[in-house]
Every structure is written in structure tokens, then in C-alpha cells.
Amino acid sequence: MNPLVGMAGVLVALGALLLVVKRVQGCGRLSPEGARKWVHMGMGVICLSFPWLFAKPWPVWGLALLSVMGLGALRVVPLLRRELGGVLHDVQRVSLGEIYFPLGVALVFTLAQGSALVFSVPVALLTFADAAGALVGKRWGRHGYETLVGRKSLEGSLAVGLVGWLCVSLPLLIAGYDWRVSVVIGALIGLFGMMVEAISWRGLDNIFLPLAALAQIKLYLSMSTGTLVARLAVLMAITVAAWVWRRGRVVDDCARLGGALALYFVWAVGGWMWLVAPVILLGSYMRLMPEIPGGIPRHNLVAVICVGGAGVATAVAQAFAPFVGWLWCFTLAITTQHAVIAVVRFSQARSNWSRVRCGAVGTTHALALQGLAFVALDRGQTVSVGQLTGGLVWVILATACFVACEPKLAEPDELTMRWWKQGVASLLAAALGTSSLLFL
């Protein structure tokens, strides 16, 4: 099919979808949340046809940009918002899910590289699992838990996991894969998707969920049944531990789930060596760094995202573009977080120390532990002595930038802003490490 004809057909279908849902909503048969989810599912069903309509990514990206502009216009143009915008914007919460949805689909289409199965599984998961969770939670949700955007229900989350399992297993069975492999992969991605949806806010799961599913489906299809079962057991154990662990209330529910997801994803795509740096950081945080007088403030999901964001980004790079040097870049990101946390802890526990002394001791603390562990793991196979030395410089530079930009190390005026500064510092170290591997 001519791609321009296909694009025109998709746009007409999307327009008709909005008009029909608006008409039904106007008759009082749909709640604002119901209308939003029906549009969500309709968009997904239309997108599932893309592998048979388009051979190249550019028409999908064109549709994504047109959709973003059109959906954005529904938010800001008074006439459009009055006539059609209520289909998406009458819910009493802030969300950009309809904007992220086409971008997530376009990314998945590009990364699937022409495989209809690899494209369809993440998009089906995005289309049906998320909507099922919202609709079930709205009607039958009785047992709630706290998130960054309020309360969600356990019943809704279970619906996400169950429908996600079906969205993965059925396409694999239809494609001819063994039923045991199909069932276990479905359970793995369904459970992972349930946790992603549980912690996402403002519609970001419309990007995170399909990309995570895509990375995993490409990885799992090459694994044996025994390996898949072992991974499912690990993911189930991590999920249970994240739900029941309450010690010290250092982190809230979403932060625990987010941390568990990050650790599992890093291990799933990179292997056990990718867990060494995070485990050293966690062990050092609990046993080797000084205690903070007056207790530890409670951390939320934003803290987990900022602390682990750069590391997860390198794990995503490893999933889609495998490269032996990604582990080094990941280690630099975690080491920088280790250094920053150590600097802050020393400044809080040693009020008589200067900023320079706290910075020097905290950075040395991180470099010694993480550096020795990496050298023992790598043994000079992927990173040269010069690159290793450069990595030490990058961590020191990134940590120094954080210290320079944080006027109050012991008691920040805005804790969330500090977390974002930490995230930028680790991203800087990872980026410099990547550049040194690629160009030096």
C-alpha cells in the first residue's frame, strides 16, 4: 500500500474514533475515565495494523507527530476542546498519556525492525492491559495503595498483569511458539508490566511499558524454558519483597516497586555483573556510610528515578544495541550516585567538616569500592588503563559539579531538586564515559 494512503486512512479512523466516543459520552453512557480508555484502546487497535500498512518507520513517525499536534490542539484550542477535548480531558487528573502514546508506538515500530510479532506484543500490552487496569480498578477496586498521583487499587493492578499475560502469550502461541515458552514469557512481561503501570504517573507508562516489553520479548525469545522459569521466580520474589518490605520506612511503596523493577531490568538485560555496582551502593549506604542524626527522610519514586535513571538508560542501550562497554558506563553512573550520596551523608554526620573535605572523602569512598570491584570483574578485557583513569576523572568531575551546584549539602531547601541534580551528575559521568569509549 502507498504509505500516504495508509496515513490518510489512519487519520480518518482516529477522527472517527473521537467522534463516536464523544457521541456515546454525550448520551451519558460513558464516564470521563471510560471515554478516555475507549479512545486509548481504539488508538491501539488502529496502531496494531501498522506492520501491514507500512514497510518503513517514517510514515509512523509522521502519524505520531500529526497525532501529537492534533491531540495537543484539543487541549489548547477552545473550540476543539469544547467539541472533542472532553473525550480525553474531563478526567480530574493531570496526564499526557495521549501525547506519549503515539510516540511510544513510533519508537516500538522503529526498534522492532519490521517484525510484526515484536511490534504487536508491546502495542497490545499497551492497548489492553492499561485500559483493563483502569476500568477494573474504577469499578471493583477495594484494596488501595499509595502512588505519586494518589491511590491505585490492587484489583486494577492484577487486571493489568492478567490481561498483559494474555496480550503476550496469545500472539506467541499464534506465531507457533511452544505453549510453555509462551505462557512463561507472558507471565514475565505481564508481571513486569503490572509493576510499571503501578508506579507510572501522568501517562508515562505509555512510553515506558512498550519499550520495556520490547526489550524483554527480544531477549526472552532466545532463552530456554528453564532459564525463563528461573527469571520468573526471581521477578516474583522481587515483587513480593518490594510489597512487604517496610523496614525503617526509608522509601514509600512506589519507590520500592520502582527500585525492584530497575534492579530486575538491569539484571535481565545485562546479567549478574550489572548488579554488582548497585549492590555495593546499597550495602555501603546501609553499613559503611555514617548515620544521619535525627533519622532519614522518606524517599519517593522521584528519588529512585533520579538515582537510577542514568543507569537504567545504559541498560536500555545494552538491550537494543549490545556493546561490551555499556557496563563501564553503567558503573560510572552508579559510582557517581555513590559518591554524591556519600558526600551528603558525611556532610550531615560531620558538621565540623568543610565542603571540600566531605567531597574528597565521599568521592574517595565511592571510587575505592566501585573501582576495585569493576577492575576485579573486568580484568582489563573491555576497558583500558587509560579509559579506567579517565572514568575516575569523570566521576570526580561530575561529583564536583553536584557539590558546586548544591549550596546546602546537609539540609537542602528542596529535596526533590537535589535528587534531580544527582540524576544530572550521574548522567554526565555516563555520557563522558560513553564518549571516551567511542572516540578515544
- What gap in Å lies between CA 293 and CA 283, rounded to an integer? 19
Q: What is the mean pLDDT of residues 178-206?
A: 84
**What is the SS3 string spanning 68-108?**
HHHHHHHHHCHHHHHHHHHHHHCCCCCCCHHHHHHHHHHHH
| Residue 264 forms part of a structural domain | no
Q: In the structure, what pLDDT confidence band is assigned to residue 319 with cuts at 50, 70 and 90?
A: confident
Residue 141: pLDDT band (50, 70, 90) is: low
Under DSSP, the state recorded for 31 is -
Rounded mean pLDDT of 100-129? 89
For residues 95 and 165, membership in a common domain is answered with: no
Residues 205 and 341 grouped into a single domain: no
pLDDT value of position 144: 66
> Between 246 and 274, where is the model more confident?
274
Question: What is this structure's pTM?
Answer: 0.77
What confidence score (pLDDT) does residue 333 get?
A: 93
Task: Assess whether 365 and 428 both reside in one domain.
Answer: yes
100 with 136, same domain: the answer is no
Q: Report if residue 281 sits inside a domain.
A: yes
Q: Are residues 84 and 122 in the same domain?
A: no
235 occurs within a structural domain: yes
DSSP 3-state of 407: coil
Is residue 163 in a domain? Answer: yes
Question: What is the per-residue pLDDT across 335-357, written as a single tens digit (0 to 9) for each?
Answer: 999 999 899 888 888 888 888 88
User: Is 106 found in the same domain as 121?
Assistant: no
Copy the grid coordinates of residue 1.
Answer: 500500500
> Do 220 and 239 share a domain, yes or no?
yes
Range of the domain at 309: 269-440
Quick one: what percent of the chain has pLDDT higher than 70?
82
- Considering the domain architecture, whether residues 237 and 320 belong to the same structural domain is answered as no
Residues 377, 235, single domain; the answer is no
The pLDDT of residue 92 is 44
Domain boundary among 244, 278, 300: 244
Average pLDDT over residues 83-109: 66
Query: Can you tell me the mean pLDDT for 157-184?
Result: 91
Residue 382 lies in a domain: yes
Same domain, 187 and 207: yes
- The total number of structural domains in the chain stands at 3
151 vs 400, higher pLDDT: 400
Q: For the chain, what is the radius of gyration of the CA atoms? A: 23
Residue 40: predicted pLDDT:
75
In a domain, 97, yes or no: yes
Q: Using the predicted structure, report yes or no on whether residue 247 has a pLDDT greater than 60.
A: no
Close Cβ partners of 87 (under 8 Å, ≥ 6 residues apart): 18, 21, 22, 25, 35, 36, 39
83 pLDDT more than 70: no
Confidence of residue 248 (pLDDT cuts 50, 70, 90): very low
Least confident of 111-125, 172-186, 192-206, 405-419: 192-206
Nearest partner of 281 among 332, 220, 355, 319, judged by Cα: 332
pLDDT reported for residue 91:
45
Mean pLDDT of 222-226: 88
Q: Which of 52, 85, 113 is the last residue of a domain?
A: 113
Pair (208, 295) in one structural domain: no
Among 73-77, 196-200, 407-411, the minimum mean pLDDT is found in 73-77
Q: How confident is the model at residue 234 (pLDDT cuts 50, 70, 90)?
A: confident
The per-residue pLDDT for 229 is 93
Cβ-based neighbour number of residue 159 at 10 Å: 24
Classify residue 231: in a domain, yes or no.
yes
Where a domain ends, among 64, 85, 113? 113
Mean pLDDT of 95-103: 74
The answer as to whether 293 is a domain residue is yes
pLDDT of 374-424, one tens digit each? 988 888 788 788 888 888 899 999 999 998 888 888 777 777 888 889 899
Contacts of 347 (CB under 8 A, 6+ apart): 353, 355, 358, 409, 410
Pair (55, 6) in one structural domain: yes
**Nearest CA among 386, 373, 190 for reference residue 276:** 373
Chain mean pLDDT for the chain: 81
Q: What is the pLDDT of residue 194?
A: 84
Backbone angles phi, psi at 151, to 5 degrees: -95, 140
For residue range 357-369, what is the model confidence (pLDDT) as tens digits? 888 998 998 999 9
